[in-house]
Structure 1
């Protein structure tokens, strides 16, 4: 059983968006007022959207990548406040949130196991540094410049290798020479929701500026919990703040420093059995409940441009956090079965880049990356009790799990003709993970001092064809890998590590401008050959215990995606869809939830009632259809602008385990989320009536440890923003 399994006990041919600011949602930028005026003047012109994920600013419409780019205003208009709501704003993404952990998958690839040893295949970056890969998932979006969601392997640049995709979240920078500018937003909503957010740009000198931003949100619980239970009823008390400094002593040198602090008291992450038939917001519990994340992040980014146009970039990151969680493990008022943990995590990262000028036929990027990520489990803080209270009925763990990553990467681009360009990328990485932990397994002491190492070369070859000023075609083959990890001993000796995952992706895409730039589209088709899928199943020789293994045969995942954006006078429309078909390679496995004693070889079986042949089943968290759509219209009343907007998202049903056992709750039903808002711009004041999940769909947002975790219910309210 690995540390991740411990946690599981508790817990392109296509129409997606180049989503741009289409109207007034609420202020995320200090320049929002002038931006609004510009948008009013150029209502029939679509602005250029850029992506920065490949270390230089490039137009999305001529970059060989499937991506959705959202501004801070877009996030507000779409009702996106935290990462799990991104699934309603971009194709082919699912985010299944069970509170202390997150299953973020793009095109069916990401993370499906909940432990510290299993890294994620979808890397989230905040202001240029890869963030905590599983914990601390509730960090809010506030004062955001852009969120870029890239689909497919992003293994060539930065951070850990990304097999499913990457999300780049960038907050607003200070602006030198802009004076004192900013905004403040107050919000009142149902569930006694009171929120306050704001930001200000502060000029210090001709070469130095600062920006301060904050966000706070207090809300009553969504749940009606009967007990007896102790601790919280899942009311929310969250506070976040950010300070940024920008120094530009010359045109060649830029130094940007940002530091964030988050105190996110979610109260609890209530859940009940996956097989329950009651309203998931009305549950019972008789254990202590708690959910508190406290963490900080500091980022130092230095850019220097040499006289020949080559840029040097350094991005240094330090992140430190503590997550505390207590839960009712059986999710009922039956005899107490508890889980609690308190985990400290510290990440140091450093990246160096050399970036050539973008002009000319030849361009290149060269980089180095290093990262250490250490989990610390203090004594007496990680406990599974069935029930708790005695050594014979508890599983406890203490110690450290350090992980190290190092990589060298590069990209070369060459214009074969004025319309045809070849791009070649490569990355060599090394990863090391260790367990230095002691376990007491229901009275049996166990020591674990293992180390495992993994190395990989990933690459991408792309051919880009600018067919005309309106049409851009691309095709590429790319590979990605994420490292394996260690299994914790379970009284049967030291089990073997699980191996690294690998994916080979073929993708072709077409991006186009139509009707004189009134309409933009992206379409892509892809095929993934996904090897060594990491999954927790019953221990092959003793299935009462769980172990993480690799699917010995490749899974295939194919799909079609599309995005569009259109502006016609006062009307604005954006939307996207993703269609997927997945098929698991032959794999025999014991379902750890079903008691059995027969051995089960993953490659050969033999098949039995307990040894299940999973050949041909769907990949987990890979719904066959995702759709998002938004429409809005501006109405002018004198100098005021009134803008109603509707948002809709559909995510088809998906499997939470490979065993596809509906009687055990493995099927997560479809999600049909309707939201909207009406904003009124009057001078420098924006008043917005908003609503999310307007049909109040009660849907299961995640399955973990036999418990179901429900998504947020309907929320409505008013938001008032003052620009200054």
Structure 2
């Protein structure tokens, strides 16, 4: 089935779905209210009666108070994002403790409680979906610098099998931007710090009439590399730059109809890697010593004198993204109709190094989606039905150099396609004023196609082959549960939900180069409480997850016995734990917060087959004896990692904060805010070697901000990672040398000043 067939079929489905009477969300007015009031727990305001602030979320496609919802969710306000200097997805690690985001080359890897995707190639689907203003972002390299002029970020934990069903096995990250309003205003802000770190952000909101408003916003950001080690002047490691802009229009011809149009574009340039070596560095060496500088190369040479080191100061990324979308909301009286079409375009060139490989990667990707919903939001019955269509077509060209074993290959894929459509329904029924039953179901059909050629540049005939693969997947996912109001300010809930991520292909000879879908079932039990006249909030939640046919990638065999980078349905796992979210308004000037989670994760079964040349020292798992396969081919071993925790799943994480407001006589304020983040040790990858075990860390951030009495002017200073901790987010073992481990690392201590003028 070729690209033309996919696109023709997709276009027909898109028109059918867009014209169907299935779609929904809250009314446009409620949606705007949710955006404007989406402020996380406020710092003390001076109001003697001020308590813990409500958080309004739209994760269930309607506006609701988080304290009255059974969602497993963390919410970060736009104010908190700006104060923390968040400019890209990996920065979320500092403000959302249960999400761990790493970067390998141009690929963003999002993990929630250890569920995620480590694949850094053209075939990998994320297990945690990323959404911007309700539009799913399919490719892990299509997440751009969108974190400016943001209302909030919602991190949904667990499978989203009903409303965010496409491949959302582990959860979803929803980014909600600030929508145009009927109030003239805007802001301009700037930040500057060490490593020549600058952020310039601005927004302008203009109501052109009683029915039409336009909002324009943008950001310029850049910094010098925080890696050390004597990179050549002028190399791409010297600086990272990005620029992004967003233009929106909100039109309300009547009180029942609204149309929001969004256009966005961005460019990113700079190094594609931020790798360091975790081993065999000396114990007191610089943790931010770049993996490809002369000193690190000397370490590798000492470990393996025959290793041919690849040139690495040419690592770079050049990425252009643009997207357009619309959201129509129409109040039909009995329900609200929502139609949301979107298009996203990526052009990418990257040269990156990891695990001893050089990868030159070019991709052109086009994504089309449309979701239609019809929703009723009554006092005793809330229901929603909808349909979803998605299509992604991409062309990819890879050059892979894995010297010194003389494995150079060119991979050209003129077509890699994913097409999906789904129908879903969700409801909440109130049996009495204090008891509600929840239920939802989704049917998903997905198809994947791969057409391409792999050419071995070292003339190894068995490594030359053509790919022409096609597969379809059908799945029904569901959720159910109940909510019970124990008291006016206390709500208990119990839910169960399912999710799946479709299967796919990897680069190897067909047949035998495919893998099955993975599945996750999550059980959740929790209670949300407010005490002491709304001054104390204590939310507790327990979870139990069963993870089946977990997809993992490692060096192995294809169906013809050739060595390949294989994606397996490697194993099943069990996760369980407890999370707590506590907010205390100690006084009108003081606020304490604590967000903590315990997560016990273990592989019940996890094994895969590797070539006999596999070095047992490159894994911490049990390696079986060499054996010959019955059908012939290369000898092999079995690696068994059963009993290990899931990678990137720390057993304990906690984020605690204290904020104090000093009120000055003229009405202006000075706010001091201190936040600490603790994370226990975690494995970064399924290598499970000692170097892959990242030690426990504690980082501290401190901010001091002055806000004028009229709220129009503010100035502040900040220190992030005050403890100068080395926080690793992803990694992998060298492909040819045991005990040489590459890892991505967060920035060291950073500090600076910022200011903002609002009008």
Which TM-score band applies after superposition, normalised by the shorter structure?
0.7 to 0.9
- Secondary structure of 1:61's aligned partner: helix
Q: Is the 8 A contact 1:540 1:600 kept in 2?
A: no
- Secondary structure of 2:377's aligned partner: coil
Q: Is the 8 A contact 2:692 2:732 kept in 1?
A: no
Q: CA deviation at 1:351?
A: 0.2
Partner of 1:7: none
Partner of 1:165: 171
State the alpha-carbon separation in 1 of the partners of residues 627 and 208 from structure 2: 69
Partner of 2:488: 469
Partner of 2:632: none
Q: Return the match for 1:712 from 735, 744, 747.
A: 747
State the alpha-carbon separation in 2 of the partners of residues 174 and 38 from structure 1: 28
- Secondary structure of 1:539's aligned partner: strand
Q: CA deviation at 1:636?
A: 1.2
Are residues 543 and 667 of structure 1, via their aligned partners in 2, closer, same or farther at CA, if it must alter by over 3 Å?
farther
Q: Which moved more, 1:639-648 or 1:262-271?
A: 262-271
State the alpha-carbon separation in 2 of the partners of residues 303 and 345 from structure 1: 29
State the alpha-carbon separation in 2 of the partners of residues 350 and 329 from structure 1: 36
* Residues 306-385 of structure 1 aligned to structure 2 (within 5 Å): 306-308=332-334, 310-329=335-354, 338-359=358-379, 361-377=380-396, 381-385=397-401
- Are 2:328 and 1:302 equivalent residues in the alignment? yes
The size of the alignment, in residue pairs, is 671
Q: Is the 8 A contact 1:78 1:647 kept in 2?
A: no
Normalising by structure 1, report the TM-score: 0.87
Partner of 1:433: 448
Q: Return the match for 1:511 from 512, 523, 528.
A: 528
Partner of 1:142: 148
- Secondary structure of 1:117's aligned partner: coil
Are residues 316 and 37 of structure 1, via their aligned partners in 2, closer, same or farther at CA, if it must alter by over 3 Å?
same
- Are 2:229 and 1:233 equivalent residues in the alignment? no
Q: Return the match for 1:529 from 539, 546, 556.
A: 546
Partner of 1:186: 190
Q: Return the match for 2:574 from 556, 564, 567.
A: 556
Are residues 583 and 158 of structure 1, via their aligned partners in 2, closer, same or farther at CA, if it must alter by over 3 Å?
closer
Q: CA deviation at 1:265?
A: 1.3
Q: CA deviation at 1:40?
A: 4.6
Q: Is the 8 A contact 1:79 1:675 kept in 2?
A: no
Are residues 112 and 289 of structure 1, via their aligned partners in 2, closer, same or farther at CA, if it must alter by over 3 Å?
closer
Q: Return the match for 1:578 from 573, 597, 616.
A: 597
- Are 2:289 and 1:282 equivalent residues in the alignment? yes
* Residues 581-596 of structure 1 aligned to structure 2 (within 5 Å): 581-590=600-609, 594-595=614-615
Q: CA deviation at 1:712?
A: 1.2
* Residues 582-621 of structure 1 aligned to structure 2 (within 5 Å): 582-590=601-609, 594-595=614-615, 598=626, 610-621=637-648
Render the CA deviation track for 1:422-448: whole Å, top value 9, x for unaligned.
111000101111111111134343110
State the alpha-carbon separation in 2 of the partners of residues 131 and 660 from structure 1: 31
- Secondary structure of 1:546's aligned partner: strand
Q: CA deviation at 1:36?
A: 9.2
Q: Is the 8 A contact 1:349 1:370 kept in 2?
A: yes
Q: Is the 8 A contact 2:350 2:362 kept in 1?
A: yes
Q: CA deviation at 1:298?
A: 1.4
- Secondary structure of 1:584's aligned partner: strand
Normalising by structure 2, report the TM-score: 0.83
Partner of 2:584: 566
Render the CA deviation track for 1:157-185: whole Å, top value 9, x for unaligned.
14613111111111111112x12x01100
Q: Which moved more, 1:320-329 or 1:462-471?
A: 320-329
Q: Is the 8 A contact 2:145 2:242 kept in 1?
A: no
State the alpha-carbon separation in 1 of the partners of residues 328 and 702 from structure 2: 40
Q: Is the 8 A contact 2:483 2:492 kept in 1?
A: yes
Q: CA RMSD in A?
A: 2.7
State the alpha-carbon separation in 2 of the partners of residues 509 and 535 from structure 1: 31
State the alpha-carbon separation in 1 of the partners of residues 192 and 251 from structure 2: 37
Q: CA deviation at 1:452?
A: 1.3
* Residues 101-250 of structure 1 aligned to structure 2 (within 5 Å): 101-158=107-164, 160-176=166-182, 178-179=183-184, 181-226=185-230, 231-250=235-254
Partner of 2:300: none
Are residues 90 and 222 of structure 1, via their aligned partners in 2, closer, same or farther at CA, if it must alter by over 3 Å?
closer
State the alpha-carbon separation in 2 of the partners of residues 594 and 234 from structure 1: 36
Are residues 43 and 112 of structure 1, via their aligned partners in 2, closer, same or farther at CA, if it must alter by over 3 Å?
farther
Q: CA deviation at 1:540?
A: 5.1
Q: Return the match for 1:410 from 425, 430, 447.
A: 425
Q: Is the 8 A contact 1:127 1:170 kept in 2?
A: yes
RCO greater where, 1 or 2, for CA within 8 Å and sep 6 or more? 1
Q: CA deviation at 1:31?
A: 10
State the alpha-carbon separation in 2 of the partners of residues 591 and 43 from structure 1: 65
Q: CA deviation at 1:538?
A: 3.5
Query: 5+ unaligned residues in a row in structure 2: which ranges?
Result: 1-34, 294-310, 617-624, 630-634, 735-741
Partner of 1:19: none
Q: CA deviation at 1:48?
A: 2.2
